[in-house]
Amino acid sequence: MTGLDPEAHRILEIGAFITDFSLTKLSGSEYHALVRQPDDVLAAASDVVKQMDAGNGLLKQVRERGRPEAEVQHELAALIREHFGDEPVTLAGNSIHQDRRFIRRWWPEVEVLLHYRMLDVSSFKVWMQGKYGLEFQKQETHRAVDDIGESIAELEYYLTWLREGVPAQ
């Protein structure tokens, strides 16, 4: 996003993996797109996003290769329907309440497909750090597909530790 306020900021990039409950990606279920936004929206990006852009180049890539937002929203909704039919899908990942706020505000076609329940890996993070002192190290690239892969790896790390009582390798 261009910032953290869904009323003032917009979605720049979307990544999605559909997994089973073993966290295995389903065939043909990975989606990624850059979302075109007007120059004034990009110029109004928060200072934090502009600083991250210096390292990850997201704003430049959005300008060069971003696709129409309505098209991206429609494709993501079609992917969800393809894999889930009429069943609501559970959004999962790190700090996804923030993602959900943007989806609710800007992508109603996707919002109606989501279950009210969500699986937030950040909840596991808080509990595992507080109770066991465990911390999963992430690369923090702040790019959609990287973040999803790291969220899956982080959840696997915590679940393995809980199952086996030792940190995952």
Active site residues: 116
Sign of the alpha-carbon dihedral angle for 57, 7, 146, 122: positive
Tokens of 81: 């329907």
Q: How many CB atoms lie under 10 A from the CB of residue 79?
A: 19
Cα 157 from Cα 92, distance rounded (Å) = 16
Euclidean distance between the first and the last CA atom of the chain, given in angstroms as a whole number: 32
